[in-house]
Amino acid sequence: MPASRLHFVRHGEVFNPRGLLYERLDGFPLSDLGHEMAQAAAEELAGMNREISKLYVSPLERTRQSAAPVANEFGLEPTIEERIIEPWNRLRGYPLGPRALLAKPALAIHLYNPYRPSWGEPFQEIASRMTGAALAGWESVDSGDVVFVSHQLPIWMTYRSAQGLSLPHNPRNRRCSLSSITSFDVVGGKLVPVDYREPGLRHAGLI
């Protein structure tokens, strides 16, 4: 039989003193607090008292660093899964939010359709690749749970798609904090959200 449950873990806090949209750029590792958050997520998984059989990780540095405590906790070798990587974005390398347009006004040409979105990878493509990776991971083991260490928007698209919600959304309303754990079962070949935890914020004293 396949896996019992799937857990999507977001990476910890990134060292980003300039406040840039780092997307898939190199040179953005975890901060000291980010490493602590990642450890808190690994300990949260261990505290669930569930067998973890497989660990998949996005190829980016911050996710590989965040996966390391999980690998150590459960004695697993992380497997790189390209489909759970951060979405591409034409604004990468620029300051987050409206400051990007102050830095380069010409970027405004990419902001004509927030529902796709026109400035980056389409929401539907993100949801499709994430769901494909999730279901493949579900079938990749004979028992136990599977952990995926990924990024905020991909995990949020997985959740909204599984719930049948509209993929366009207000980014401020994403329920996917740093080092959070979003868990799914698979029922009838479809993802079903079953749990959400925020060990990273709890460790940082923010909840």
CATH number at residue 176: 3.40.50.1240
Q: Domain for residue 196, yes or no?
A: yes
Residue 180 within a domain: yes
Q: Is the pLDDT of residue 21 over 80?
A: yes
Q: Is residue 108 part of a domain?
A: no
Identify each DSSP E strand in 19-167 by its residue range: 52-57, 79-80, 145-150
Quote the domain boundaries for residue 65: 6-86+121-203
SS3 label, residue 104: coil
pLDDT at residue 30, as a whole number: 98
Is position 99 within any domain?
A: no
Is position 92 within any domain? Answer: no
Look up the pTM and report it. 0.97
Tell me whether residue 112 is in a domain: no
- Mean of the pLDDT values across residues 51-69? 98
Question: How many domains are contained in the chain?
Answer: 1
Strands 190-197 and 181-187: antiparallel
Residue 80: inside a domain = yes
What whole-number distance in Å separates Cα of residue 129 and Cα of residue 109? 27
Taking only the tens place, the pLDDT of each residue in 77-86 is 999 999 999 9
Is there a domain that residue 137 lies in? yes
Strands lying side by side in the sheet with 6-10: 79-80, 52-57, 145-150, 6-10, 181-187, 190-197
**Range in 59-68, 79-88, 92-101 the model is least confident about:** 92-101
